[in-house]
Amino acid sequence: MAFLTLEGIVKTYGTFRAIDGLNLEVRHGEFIALLGPSGCGKTTTLQSIAGFVQPTEGRIVLDGRDITHVRPEQRGLGIVFQSYALFPHMTVAQNISFGLEMRGVPTAERGKRVDEALDLVRLAGLGERYPKALSGGQRQRVAIARALAIRPNLLLLDEPMSNLDAKLREEMHIELRAIQRELGITTILVTHDQVEAMTMSDRIAVMQKGRIVQIDTPFEAYERPHSPFASAFLGKTNAFAGAVQLRNDRCCHVQVHDTLMHVPHEDRTLGNDVNVYIRPEKIRLVALGSGRFSGRVRLRVFLGNLWLMAVESRLGLVHMTLPNLGTPPPEEGSEVGLDWSDDDLRLLDREVAHGQV
Amino acid sequence: MHKNGFFSLLFHALFVTFIVAPLVVVMAMAFTSKGYLSLPTEGLSLRWFRALADNQEMLDAFALSIKLGLASATIAALLAIPAALAISRYDFPGRGAVTGFLLSPLMIPSVVLGIAFLRFFSLAQIGGSFWALTLTHVIVVLPYALRLTLASTIGLERDIEHAALSLGASRWTAFYRVVLPRIRTGVVGGWMLAFIQSFDELTMTVFVATPGTTTLPVAMYNQISQTIDPLITAVSTVLIVGTLLLMLILDRMVGLDRVLIGEGK
């Protein structure tokens, strides 16, 4: 039984369809990320759930209650805004206390719950400060504490990390995830950052042009993208254009330039234009002559934990990553052998590819 | 800090002298014991302040001007808040026209406004009342209140209001507890400018003021066009000193530069 259901949501601005028939079912306690580029409708979707945007069509049901036309102040949601939206003229404690006050929580209990909320985000003792006197990361925590203090039935996060620097963002991902698990609160995150979506969510809803084009666990979505769009949006990938040459019910053979690639578990019509995909980390470096094909190293970049390589081969430029195991890979200009497992190849129709990427 | 050079200091000194000298001259003349305007004067005296205290017409005019300023500035500020919020927030058809219309009294010569109001009041037969006069002042000072209020609403984040709503605040509470404190400096600054404009307004008011509704500037104008005695300098001195004290108090309480220039970040 879904806790939150979005049914056929449409939002139009003039002729522009910001949300174009969106359906989503979220289970209780689940963490869902709405992932997509800017303009894909993810923020409009969040604002519809929050009640700041009235959908043109469709229904929003939260915990069995139709909230499509309920005013935002009566929805009881916790929202963390991209700008944090802290009240600058109130102290941290007053900020957190605001929602409790609106709910008529008695003063004594308010103080207790403010302290609890501050503890939860590890800001105990900073209640008397003004937001101005806090760092970006601390403001973010106050915003989270304020949203959680009212014990909302649903937590909405609108690109909450985009104003933090990379290192802090990573810490907050893990911390926020832990808090969400601890409280068991159903959460919806809007982000354009695939790492953020993957680290925190149970399921990722990839959005494109006002629709959800795929919803899966981070692993499934990364490993088995349904479209070239989803594939490209969730991390880097190599794409090789080809045509189906041979097929049976267990596999396809795709002609890419003068190479026949064997893709198992896929079934396509003969002669179809397709793209074969493989993620950079699935390609292995092997001794020259022993892999499936060979190439010349064009680029070698050291990233600390990884080596990023680009190898010129018969298939074109192949991008790959290697974990840094202590020995540098062959230098730029050297001949290397490349290999992969056929199970790591993915196949997607090229019509879709051309239409959407 | 940058140090000012000699010429820069000289320029500033001359500039300040130029601004302040007339005020000083007026104030000095108020303490004359003679029955005419003179400077330098022999014999210091407070007789013209005594004369002012005994001049009921002048005192009534002063009280009326204060009342008029308070009423028109407050009404203008109350109208300016929703207008500024609407203009800065919503992109509605005719937004530019509405803004232009509300600011238009700035561009119409006071004389023209005065004649228009006079004609309108005599046709509608509502001239001569305090509220008719207030109405004219609201129209004239609204642009000042609106401009400063707009300055503070334009940069206002929509998110904080949304945050308040999401935390369960009603629209009114969200406005009162979150939006209003954010735009307070603009509203207060606008109110002050509006009050000053109303208190100072002569050109338009001369046309619509009646014997029952004579504002201080009009009373002073009448006085000086009939007789030239130092009473007028005494009135001026009281005004100058009064304003100075008011500014000092306001500066202590809220910080004038914050109100008139904007909130420092």
Residue A132: CATH number of its domain: 3.40.50.300
- The pair phi, psi for residue A212, each rounded to 5°, is -90, 115
Kindly tell me if the per-residue pLDDT of B28 is higher than 70: yes
Query: Is the CB of B57 inside 8 Å of chain A's CB atoms?
Result: no
pLDDT band for position B36 (50/70/90)? confident
Nearest by CB: B166 against A77, A83, A103: A77
User: Considering the domain B55-261 in this protein, what is its CATH number?
Assistant: 1.10.3720.10
Q: Report the distance separating Cα B111 and Cα A190, nearest Å.
A: 58
Tell me whether residues A87 and B160 touch, CB distance under 8 A.
yes
**Tokens 């005004």 label which residue?**
B239
Q: Chain B partners of A150 at a C-beta cutoff of 8 Å?
A: 167-168
Query: Is the CB of B254 inside 8 Å of chain A's CB atoms?
Result: no
Residues A331 and A316 in one domain: yes
Identify the residue with better confidence: A145 or B92.
A145
Q: CA end-to-end span of chain B, whole Å?
A: 19
What's the pLDDT score for residue A352? 52
What's the pLDDT score for residue A356? 41
Residues A94 and A202 in one domain: yes
How is A266-317 classified by DSSP, letter by letter? ----TT-EEEEEE-GGG-EEE-TTTSSEEEEEEEEEE-SSEEEEEEEETTEE
Tell me whether residues B162 and A85 touch, CB distance under 8 A.
yes
Last residue of a domain, one of A208, A227, A246: A227
For range A306-315, the mean pLDDT: 91
The answer to which of A41-55, A101-115, A313-327, B34-48 has the lowest mean pLDDT is B34-48
3-state helix, strand, coil in chain A (%, to 5): 30, 35, 35
pLDDT band for position B261 (50/70/90)? low
Identify the residue with better confidence: B185 or A52.
A52
Nearest residue of chain B to residue A80 (CA atoms): B163
For range A166-175, the mean pLDDT: 88
Nearest by CB: A150 against B160, B168, B174: B168
* Chain-centre distance for alpha carbon A330: 34
A115 vs A120, A124, A145, A149, A180, CA distance in Å? 9, 7, 10, 10, 18
What's the pLDDT score for residue A247? 81
pLDDT band for position B14 (50/70/90)? very high
Kindly tell me if the per-residue pLDDT of B189 is higher than 90: no
What's the pLDDT score for residue A357? 38
Kindly tell me if the per-residue pLDDT of A156 is higher than 80: yes
How is A151-163 classified by DSSP, letter by letter? --SEEEEESTTTT
What is the domain partition of chain B in residue ranges?
55-261
Beta strands in chain A (DSSP E): 4-13, 16-26, 31-35, 57-62, 65-66, 77-80, 154-158, 186-191, 203-208, 211-216, 238-247, 251-256, 259-264, 273-278, 284-286, 293-302, 306-313, 316-323, 335-339, 346-349
Residues A272 and A292 in one domain: no
DSSP designation for A11 = E
What's the pLDDT score for residue B262? 56
Residue A20: give the domain boundaries: 4-227
How is A93-104 classified by DSSP, letter by letter? HHHHHHHHHHTT
Kindly tell me if the per-residue pLDDT of A145 is higher than 80: yes
Residues A73 and A194 in one domain: yes
What's the pLDDT score for residue B42? 75
Query: Is the CB of B160 inside 8 Å of chain A's CB atoms?
Result: yes
CB pairs A-B closer than 8 Å: 64
Q: Report the distance separating Cα A34 and Cα A206, nearest Å.
A: 6
Interval B201-243: pLDDT, tens: 998 998 888 888 889 999 999 888 888 888 888 899 999 998 8
The answer to which of A190-204, A300-314, A318-332, B41-55 has the lowest mean pLDDT is B41-55
Strands of A259-264's sheet in order across: A259-264, A251-256, A238-247, A273-278, A346-349
Residue among A238, A224, A221 at smallest CA distance from A276 = A238
pLDDT band for position A301 (50/70/90)? very high
Residues A274 and A309 in one domain: no
Q: Chain B partners of A81 at a C-beta cutoff of 8 Å?
A: 159, 162-163
Kindly tell me if the per-residue pLDDT of B30 is higher than 80: yes
Residues A211 and A271 in one domain: no
Query: Is the CB of B180 inside 8 Å of chain A's CB atoms?
Result: no
Q: Report the distance separating Cα A186 and Cα A143, nearest Å.
A: 17
Query: Is the CB of A133 inside 8 Å of chain B's CB atoms?
Result: no
CA torsion A115-A116-A119-A120 (nearest 10°) is -150
Tell me whether residues A72 and B165 touch, CB distance under 8 A.
yes
Kindly tell me if the per-residue pLDDT of B263 is higher than 70: no
pLDDT band for position B246 (50/70/90)? confident
pLDDT band for position A253 (50/70/90)? confident
Interval A181-228: pLDDT, tens: 999 999 999 999 999 999 999 999 999 999 999 999 999 999 999 888
CATH code of the domain containing A256: 2.40.50
pLDDT band for position B259 (50/70/90)? low
Residues A115 and A208 in one domain: yes
Q: Report the distance separating Cα B191 and Cα B70, nearest Å.
A: 9
What total of structural domains would you count in chain A? 3
pLDDT > 70 in chain B, percent: 95
Kindly tell me if the per-residue pLDDT of B265 is higher than 60: no
Residues with Cβ within 8 Å of B206's Cβ and at least 6 positions away in sequence, in order, are B114, B218, B221
CATH code of the domain containing A301: 2.40.50.140
Query: Is the CB of A50 inside 8 Å of chain B's CB atoms?
Result: yes
Nearest by CB: A83 against B159, B166, B178: B159
Cβ atoms of A338 and A292 closer than 8 Å: yes
Q: Chain B partners of A139 at a C-beta cutoff of 8 Å?
A: none
* Chain-centre distance for alpha carbon B118: 22
Residues A135 and A63 in one domain: yes
Q: With a cut of 0.85, is the ipTM above it?
A: no
Q: Report the distance separating Cα A145 and Cα A160, nearest Å.
A: 13
For range B113-130, the mean pLDDT: 87
Residues A141 and A241 in one domain: no
Return the structure tokens found at A344: 């790591």
Return the structure tokens found at B137: 């002042």
Query: Is the CB of B59 inside 8 Å of chain A's CB atoms?
Result: no
What's the pLDDT score for residue B166? 93
**Tokens 């680009």 label which residue?**
A310
Return the structure tokens found at A156: 């909405």
Residues A182 and A295 in one domain: no
What's the pLDDT score for residue B213? 86
Residue among A245, A336, A323 at smallest CA distance from A282 = A323
pLDDT band for position B1 (50/70/90)? low
What's the pLDDT score for residue B32? 82
Residues A138 and A188 in one domain: yes
Question: Nearest CA to CA, how far is B2 from chain A (Å)?
Answer: 28
Identify the residue with better confidence: B230 or B63.
B63
What's the pLDDT score for residue A355? 43
Question: Nearest CA to CA, how far is A12 from chain B (Å)?
Answer: 17
Interval A1-25: pLDDT, tens: 789 999 999 999 989 999 999 999 9
Kindly tell me if the per-residue pLDDT of A138 is higher than 80: yes
Residues A219 and A246 in one domain: no
